[in-house]
Amino acid sequence: MIAAVHTSSVVLVVAVFLASAVEMVEALTIVLAVGVTRGWRTALSGAAGAVVVLGALVTAVGPALVHVPLSVLRLAVGGLLLVFGLQWLRKAVLRAAGLKAKHDEDAIFAEQVAELSGGSSPGGGPGTPAGAAGQGQSRRSGSLDRTGLVVAFKGVFLEGLEVVVVVLTLGSTSHDVPLAALAAGAAVVLVAVVGLAVARQLSSVPENAMKMAVGLMLVSFGTFWSGEGVHVHWPGADAAIVALVAFYGLAAWLLVRLLAARPRPIAERVAEVEHA
């Protein structure tokens, strides 16, 4: 029993840590782009604002989950994790099989920098004379740039919201929201420290491998908890999660091999020849 509980806690920590790290790499790309183009004060203020709002969200929603009946919570949370995990796993399998472009943080960074320094935005964006002047002025005076602040806030808030959902769902079903929050916090700190140290080299993070691992764990947790919610009795209790991770891992490996080995549809190849 103790071994099963420990196994469950280890899987919980690993799943939350990896999911949070992946999301934070994406958020950090946006913050770095804002920092480089609009000033670090603006970027860090936007990011800090988002962290505060997300923290308030966890504080408000976390304790309320304790009052939801366990079977309802397991079904709702398990279903949520299952659908969310399937989306991650699907993308990771497609990328590993070469059917979808890998997430390129360098390209996203360059795109964000180009948008923020040359693109246009409403109300005196950077592409307009007023925006360019405002940008230079805000950098000189150290005041906050509105566009940069909104971009940094939105980037961190939206990526962070996914972390919050993972922390609350995995944490509440495992009866350990603080442990899940701690794992997420550790990932955020680690990514921030490493990201600032290797600024602009985020593409070296093995993001697809991490996404594959997170997808496997979310689908396994989702299957387990939603199953419990509809009164499926898993053999071995919590230890069944490990068996599910192994089952889905093997299946994902086979799916990658099958998809990578199969020739592409004829219509696709004809279109490619016509475009050449």
Q: Which residues bind another protein (CB under 8 A)?
A: 75, 79-80, 82-84, 86-87, 89-90, 93-94, 99-100, 161, 165, 219, 223, 226-227, 230-235, 244, 247-248, 251, 255, 259, 262, 265, 268
| 17 versus 221: smaller Cβ distance to another protein | 221
Helix-strand-coil percent breakdown of the chain, rounded to 5? Answer: 85, 0, 15
Q: Which two tokens stand for residue 275?
A: 């475009």
Q: Are 256 and 97 in contact (CB under 8 A)?
A: yes
- Minimum CB–partner distance for residue 126 and another protein (Å): 26
DSSP 46-97: HHHHHHHHHHHHHHHHHHHGGGS-HHHHHHHHHHHHHHHHHHHHHHHHHHHT
Query: How far is the C-alpha of 76 from the C-alpha of 68, rounded, in Å?
Result: 10
| 129 versus 235: smaller Cβ distance to another protein | 235
* Cα atoms in the Cβ-side hemisphere of radius 13 Å centred on 24: 23
Q: Write 138-142 long-range contacts (CB < 8 A, 24+).
A: 138/38, 138/39, 138/42, 139/38, 139/39, 142/39, 142/41
| 90 versus 139: smaller Cβ distance to another protein | 90
Q: Which two tokens stand for residue 58?
A: 């966890």
| 107 versus 232: smaller Cβ distance to another protein | 232
- Minimum CB–partner distance for residue 262 and another protein (Å): 7
| 144 versus 162: smaller Cβ distance to another protein | 162
| 131 versus 229: smaller Cβ distance to another protein | 229
Helix H or strand E segment including 115: helix 105-118
- Minimum CB–partner distance for residue 127 and another protein (Å): 26
Question: What is the chain's length?
Answer: 276
Residue (of 168, 139, 135, 142) closest to 58 by Cα position: 168
